[in-house]
Amino acid sequence: MRLRDLGEGNLIRRIRERFRNPAIPVGIGDDAAILDLPADHSLVYCSDLVAENSHFIRDIHPPDSVGYKAVAVNVSDVGAMGGVPMYFTVSVAAPGDLDLEWLDGFYTGIEKACGDFGVILAGGDTSSASSIFVDVSMVGRVPAGGAVLRSGAKVGDGIYVTGALGGSAAGLELLRKRTLDAPAVRRHLYPEPRHKVGAAVRALSHAMIDVSDGLSTDLGHIVEESRLSARIYKNKLPAAQGASELQVLHGGEEYELLIVAPQLPETIENVPVTRIGEMVESIDGLHRVYLDEAVLQPRGWDHYPTNSSA
């Protein structure tokens, strides 16, 4: 059965039945959802989109991974502020001749993400389009005044990273060769955001970001925003199994957290946390990332690579 044989009204009814949740006052099926936030909390709010042929290939990526990942990346962003993710919307545009099996698989991934991350689908939109496009927005909570920004790093702070790096990029490489059954592939398809670590280190941390664009690029954001520099050490970087040095330094879609703090324990929420370097003063006002003694240039993912770097 094709999407256009179902019709938009029936599609929305199906989604609404599947994601009905008595825990929220008003969910899918009105003009907007009505939700409650605990007192003395601020809202954490973000959105992340997934476009066919930019983020996934229909022939390669299973549909449930597309749904799962679209939620996971937003969970990761909320966690990187020290927040707790709560509610999200999903807007989906897709061709009318799309097989309904794809959409069912997609929503199976969304459903699994709801269970794994404790978040609730609160609304969204559907439309036809020439290719598949998914946008997820998410709201979460953080105690008022408690969010961890990119800009708070101080000289002498340690730079920590959760888990291991390079696994998602290594997985994508395997997937392109049609290898499906490997830990790195699972990591690429069904990333594990570290939001629980993010919330746990909130009061201990000065700055935080998730590694969605690669270590070199994302640590670059911390040094830019904090107006300092960072020095990390090659022999301290935790590499995922099978990941190359380039993948560890620049591979994106990791969703590990980069945490800047005076001192962190070695394990938080059952996730290993590794100190990879420290924040240092900038020289001549140049905010840089150093890998041992050399300047590390950002080489993460750019959806519109400039001509010079393409």
93-122 residues near a copy of itself, rule: CB under 8 A: 93, 96, 122
**Which of these ranges, 28-36, 242-250, 278-286, 288-296, lies near a copy of itself under the rule CB under 8 A?**
28-36
Candidate segments 57-65, 79-87, 154-162, 182-190, binder of a copy of itself by CB under 8 A: 79-87
| Short-list 278, 289, 291, CA closest to 157 | 278
> Smallest distance, Å, CB 47 to a copy of itself?
4
Contact 198, 82 (CB under 8 A): yes
CB 41 within 8 A of CB 92: no
Structure tokens at 109: 């991934």
Stretch 211-250: interaction string toward a copy of itself, x if CB under 8 A:
--------------x-------------------------
Cβ atoms of residues 182 and 174 within 8 Å? yes
d(CA 18, CA 21): 9
- Residue 282 is given by DSSP the state P
Q: Which of 15, 55, 157, 200 binds a copy of itself (CB under 8 A)?
A: 55
**Residue 293 token pair:** 């003694």
Instruction: Tell me which residues in 31-50 interact with a copy of itself (CB under 8 A).
Output: 31-37, 39, 42-50
Say how many residues touch a copy of itself, by CB under 8 A.
82
Show contacts with a copy of itself in window 125-154 (CB under 8 A): 125-131, 133, 135, 137-140, 142, 144, 147, 149-151
Instruction: Judge contact between 257 and 80, C-beta under 8 A.
Output: yes
- CA 120 to chain centroid, in Å, comes to 17
Amino acid letter at 287?
A: H
> For residue 196, what are its two tokens?
């629980």
Candidate segments 92-100, 165-173, 229-237, 244-252, binder of a copy of itself by CB under 8 A: 92-100
Q: Say whether residue 297 binds a copy of itself (CB under 8 A).
A: no
